[in-house]
Structure 1
Amino acid sequence: MPTDLPYAADAEVSLAPEELAVSRAYIAVLRGQYEKELGQGYVSVQTKFNYSWGLVKSQRRDHQVEGVQLLLEIYRAEASRRRECLYYLALGHYKMGNLEDARKFNALLLSKEPTNMQAQSLAQLIDNSTARDGYIGMGIAGGAAVMGALLLAGLLRRNRN
């Protein structure tokens, strides 16, 4: 099934300075539209979605958090937008390092669309990050165990003398 969703690997690519400036300007435009509609008492689903996606794409964590919160609001209120929201929620959580939440939302999407290439790509990135985090954790635990053993050996040696 063809889809217009972006690939997850794009989330890991840093923006060039000129792209970053465009991204900031883009978010400012989206924020302006969102705040204008908010001031009028009604924000359209499309405006909220566009703004939330712009925030999730940002490099700033506070933007990503706000984007994910807005996407959750849309997901809960708009059944017709759930498919898109699932992917962007998974991607947003992945970018923030919330791998379990990313996995949960992505698994929901894959249960509905098992052949979705973007969701499959994101699943691979999530699995790789989880494995990397596990290796880092094992390295830290191993280093702590070695340090503990050295300290214990030093104390035992000291007590013998």
Structure 2
Amino acid sequence: MDDVLTETVPTDDLKRFEKVYHEQLYKNDVTPKAQFEYAWCLVRSKYPADIKKGIVLLQELYKSHDEGQRDYLYYLAIGNARIKEYSKALSYVRAFLSIEPGNQQVISLESTIKKKMDKEGLVGMAMAGGVVLAVGALVGLGMAVASKKS
């Protein structure tokens, strides 16, 4: 399941779906299918700006089209997890599971997101701990130098 958060869309696919979406947008007649396919590609992009754009498109679909709600929620969870918005990702996972509680793919996604949160939380705490130690060492060094001068 980890690969669903790291998988990137082939450039050709992104360009193809982007072209269809923009052609329809120009005609002011975007179908939910075209918007979803483009958003689906965007949330699988390697660029955070694309992922965020895909999330916005999926949120619009979620609010305006009852059909496809499960897919919108699933890819909203993936998009948010990919930009490290884990709390939002988990809220979309929970919303999906409230519709379909036994979906193993989404349960696995939830587990993967929680593991990433734990891993990055520990890394963040270790970095913060290292900064505290470094500051403490500098203060101690400063005090030692100051006491020698007296």
- Same fold, TM exceeding 0.5? yes
**Among candidates 48, 53, 67, match of residue 61 of structure 1:** 48
Aligned partners of 1:11 and 1:95 also within 8 Å: no
Aligned partners of 1:106 and 1:119 also within 8 Å: yes
Query: Which residue does the alignment assign to 2:122?
Result: 135
Query: Which residue does the alignment assign to 2:85?
Result: 98
Specify every segment of 5 or more residues in structure 2 that has no aligned partner in the other structure, as ranges. none
What is the distance in 2 between the residues matched to 1:45 and 1:91?
Answer: 19
What is the distance in 2 between the residues matched to 1:41 and 1:13?
Answer: 33
Aligned partners of 1:103 and 1:123 also within 8 Å: yes
Query: Which residue does the alignment assign to 1:82?
Result: 69
Q: Aligned in 2, Cα 1:134/1:159: closer, same or farther, shift over 3 Å? A: same
Aligned partners of 2:74 and 2:92 also within 8 Å: yes
Q: Which amino acid aligns with 1:127?
A: K
Q: Aligned in 2, Cα 1:132/1:112: closer, same or farther, shift over 3 Å? A: same
The structure 1 segments of at least 4 consecutive aligned residues displaced by more than 2 Å after TM superposition are 8-15
Q: Percent identity?
A: 26
Aligned partners of 1:9 and 1:121 also within 8 Å: no
Q: Aligned in 2, Cα 1:137/1:13: closer, same or farther, shift over 3 Å? A: closer
Given the alignment of the two structures, is residue 148 of structure 1 paired with residue 135 of structure 2, yes or no? Answer: yes
- Count of residues in correspondence between the two structures: 148
Give TM-score scaled by structure 1 length: 0.85
1:14 CA displacement: 5.0
State the SS of the aligned residue for 1:86: helix
Q: Aligned in 2, Cα 1:77/1:12: closer, same or farther, shift over 3 Å? A: closer
What is the distance in 2 between the residues matched to 1:38 and 1:109?
Answer: 29
Given the alignment of the two structures, is residue 113 of structure 1 paired with residue 100 of structure 2, yes or no? Answer: yes
Give TM-score scaled by structure 2 length: 0.91
Aligned partners of 2:14 and 2:41 also within 8 Å: yes
What is the distance in 1 between the residues matched to 2:5 and 2:59?
Answer: 22
What is the distance in 2 between the residues matched to 1:13 and 1:106?
Answer: 18
Given the alignment of the two structures, is residue 28 of structure 1 paired with residue 15 of structure 2, yes or no? Answer: yes
1:154 CA displacement: 1.1
Specify every segment of 5 or more residues in structure 1 that has no aligned partner in the other structure, as ranges. 1-7
What is the distance in 1 between the residues matched to 2:141 and 2:119?
Answer: 33
